Structure 1
Amino acid sequence: MTQAFWQTKTLEQMTRSEWESLCDGCAKCCLHKFIDDENTTDETELMPTDHIGEDEQMNYSNIACYLLNDKTCQCTQYAKRTKLVPDCVQLTQDNLDDVFFMPPSCTYRRLKEGRGLPSWHPLLHKGKKSAMHKAGMSVRGKIVKDNEVDIDFFEDYIVTWPLNDID
């Protein structure tokens, strides 16, 4: 029996299509995240960042990007997402080490940490997401869209469920 590509290749060795197929489609990366920082001012509070300090803590919210289809957990404008939402990060083999905000259940993060694919991953279920949704590992049924809430009250939307990981 031959081993699957994710068992024989490093993330850096994967082809573009292998890399893309690793995304489990949970959409947790589409959630707004906030860094708890005492030095934040009113002007910088909701500004994007590309790092997190050792004394800072990242909080996930259940506020998702307005482009997210909350049933399929897919971006409705995937090809244009970084143009429509400049803060949207396209995860690649080159920036994986710098993307500190991926949740513990993210397959890219799991493989980088040597933990393998989770049992609910679509690649282990003929490409279907039903096991992931049933395990509660996606954002389905848990979110509000950023164009439907007042983001100034983000504290009211902070949640811990995106940090959940199983097996």
Structure 2
Amino acid sequence: MGGPLRKNFWELPLDSLTPPEWEALCDGCGKCCLNKLEDEETGEIVFTRVSCRLLDGDTCRCSQYDIRLQFVPECIVLSPDNIGETAYFMPASCAYRLRHEGKPLEDWHPLVSGNPDSVHTAGRSVMGWTIPEFEVPEDEWEDHLIEEPH
């Protein structure tokens, strides 16, 4: 099932990626772990600085990734099968969304830069500026709206 990652696998169609390649496509920005609000009339998604309770603010990774659905059943699990229906919910800089839209990865993406910290040094992650959801009542999330993080 595993195996080595193919050279430049991120340029291949998403549905041809192996499970390890699919996982490696994540840039580790943590933006998908920001709680979002959706305008019921327009469908527009707006981001908040309020993060999922499982986001590790120091690493920008899920602290319980393998069992996250046990704690957050509403977590969206991206896959080649559902990317068409879920990409709109991801930030515009998300590697999965970019590749779904036929666009290349950003220069700061760790797969392109070769540096696993490049997403943070480029200022493209949520490192250092989120608020854990357990500190903000859901009815106050609107007070923490942000522009989509770039």
Question: Does TM-score exceed 0.5, indicating one fold?
Answer: yes
Listed as ranges, the matches of 1:22-101 within 5 Å are 22-37=25-40, 55-99=42-86, 100-101=88-89
> Against the structure 1 CA distance between its residues 82 and 127, is the aligned structure 2 distance closer, same or farther, given a 3 Å change threshold?
farther
1:13 is aligned to 16
**What's the counterpart of residue 104 of structure 2?**
116
1:92-116 deviation line (CA, Å, top 9, x unaligned): 1111001020010000111111211
Distance 2:113 2:14 in 1: 21
SS at match of 2:96: helix
- Specify whether residues 161 and 56 from structure 1 end up closer, same or farther in structure 2 by C-alpha distance, changes over 3 A only: closer
The one-letter code sitting in structure 2 at the alignment partner of 1:4 is N
User: Which residue is equivalent to 1:128?
Assistant: 116
- Among 137, 141, 145, which residue is 1:150 paired with? 137
TM-score of the pair, normalised by structure 1: 0.81
- Structure (1 or 2) with the greater helix fraction: 2
Distance in 1, matches of 2:145 and 2:133, equals 13
Give the number of the structure whose alpha-carbon radius of gyration is greater: 1
1:48 is aligned to none
- Any unmatched runs of 5+ in structure 2? 1-5
Kindly provide the CA deviation profile for residues 1-29 of structure 1, in whole angstroms up to 9, marking residues without a partner as x: x951222x210001000111000111111
Closer, same or farther in 2 for the Cα pair 1:3/1:77, shift >3 Å?
A: closer
Opposite residue 31 of structure 1, the aligned amino acid is L
For residues 28-56 of structure 1, the C-alpha deviation after alignment (integer angstroms, 9 at most, x for no partner) is 11111101235xxxxxxxxxxxxxxxx33
Superposed CA RMSD: 1.6
Number of paired residues?
144
Q: Secondary structure of 2:92's match?
A: coil
Q: TM-score, normalised by structure 2?
A: 0.89
CA-CA distance at 1:127 after TM superposition: 4.8
Give the partner amino acid of 1:24: D
In 2, the alpha carbon distance for the partners of 1:3 and 1:17 equals 13
CA distance in 2, matches of 1:137, 1:127: 14
1:147 match: secondary structure: helix
Identity across matched positions, percent: 42
Distance 1:93 1:108 in 2: 9
Q: 1:16 to 1:3 in 2, by over 3 A?
A: closer
- Equivalence for 1:106: 94
Deviation, structure 1 residue 124:
2.3
